[in-house]
Amino acid sequence: MAELDIDAVAGAAWGGGVAPFATNTKKLGMWLFLLSDSLTFSTAILAYAYVRLASPAWPRPFEIYPAIANATFLTFILLSSSLTMVMAVAAAHRDDVRKAVMYIIFTAIGGAAFVILHLMEWFRLFAEGVTPWSNHYVVNGQPGDPLFGGTFFGLTGLHMLHVSIGVIYLCIIAFGFGKRKFNADHVEVSGLYWHFVDLVWMFIFPMVYLMSVNLTVKP
Amino acid sequence: MSAHEATAVATHQPGSKKLFMWVWFWLLILTGIEVLLAYLRLEPHVMLVLLVGLSLIKSALIVAYFMHLRFEKIGLFLIIVPSLVFCLVMILIFVFPDSLRIVALHNIHP
């Protein structure tokens, strides 16, 4: 079966002979998706800030060790996986298939490690009795706001879902690029998605973890 | 594959390995500063402003260099960033007065 040349079709549909943003449609589509997805996360984070401000008994349970140390390590993993993704895109554009696939696999491994470590933290919290609808914290003599768990697991869960989808996406891209079914543009577009997932964590980490450091315990 | 190769050449990537390593290094430094801030026991509003400021710098670095927006046509930047800022400002205009009202109510009925 002849391969469908998306760029040629897009060029015909545009009819102007030039791509309006000097980019292919895949990339433009991914940018527009990321624009809408960033609004999803923005509203989720703003809603969290709102209920937190409105609550008289919002817990600040995270101690430097293990919670903050763990989240800092997760940040390091995501930033490093972004670096390997940039290297993968550069290698793909150089047409260095072997290196590109290797770097994409490294990136996917980083993403998988992130999900596993984050899930371990979730289960540690579940074992402590923190769930999306209840917690055992006491703030100013009042029971901690149950919305703490709702917003914490909601925000980090939505992000973890994005990371998990990203890992699957990267595995498909690595396989397809290795088989020469996909070209360097596909790798670049998957890279955009991956960096966005990293970017979102750059807001969740300070808003959810660092703003909730337990100040009653000496670090 | 010839059409694909042509596209790959046309959208060739500027930015060197060294530049990406530097961006990664600075992102780690900024993350370290954020974690250090958690030790300093600042007032929540000071902490919030500093953290959001640092996060905006970090996301700008990621978007500009890792996502290559700096090397794209200016038109792509113009359709993405101003519309996002506009939507965020609209959300803040609707939400912030109400959250301040709730803070005021806490002060009246502590």
**What does the domain layout of chain A look like in residue ranges?**
26-212
- Only one residue has tokens 């997932």, namely A197
Check pLDDT > 90 for residue B29.
yes
CA distance B110 to B106: 5
Mind listing the pLDDT tens digit for each residue in A27-74? 999 999 999 999 999 999 999 998 898 888 899 999 888 899 999 999
CB-CB neighbors (< 8 A) of A7 in chain B: 3-4, 7
**CATH classification for the domain delimited by A26-212, as one of 1.20.120.80, 2.40.50.1070, 3.40.50.970, 3.40.50.720:** 1.20.120.80
Closest chain B residue to the Cα of A22, Cα to Cα: B73
Question: Chain B closest CA to A87's CA: distance in Å?
Answer: 7
User: B7: pLDDT confidence band, cut at 50, 70 and 90?
Assistant: very low
CA distance A174 to A165: 14
B interface test, pick of A41, A63, A65, A86 with most B CB neighbours within 10 Å: A86
Check pLDDT > 70 for residue B9.
no
Q: Which range has the worst mean pLDDT, A91-95, A200-204, B70-74, B85-89? A: B70-74
Is the pLDDT higher at A86 or at B39? A86
User: B41: pLDDT confidence band, cut at 50, 70 and 90?
Assistant: confident
CB-CB neighbors (< 8 A) of B62 in chain A: 82, 195, 198-199, 202
CA distance A208 to A189: 29
DSSP designation for B70: G
Say if the ipTM goes beyond 0.90: no
Closest chain A residue to the Cα of B61, Cα to Cα: A199
- Residue in A23, A39, A75 nearest the CB of B31: A75
| Mean pLDDT over each residue of chain B, to the nearest integer | 83
Burial A48-58 (b: 16+ CB within 10 A, else e): bbbbbbbbeeb
Mean pLDDT of B102-106: 74
Mind listing the pLDDT tens digit for each residue in A171-215? 999 999 999 999 999 999 999 999 999 999 999 999 999 999 986
Mean pLDDT of B13-37: 91
CA distance B103 to A53: 7
Which pLDDT value is given to residue B11? 47
Mean pLDDT of B25-44: 92
Check pLDDT > 60 for residue A96.
yes
Number of H helices, E strands in chain A: 6, 2
CB-CB neighbors (< 8 A) of A81 in chain B: none
Which pLDDT value is given to residue A85? 97
Check pLDDT > 60 for residue B43.
yes
Is the pLDDT higher at A10 or at B26? B26
- Residue in A38, A54, A68 nearest the CB of B84: A38
Which pLDDT value is given to residue A217? 56
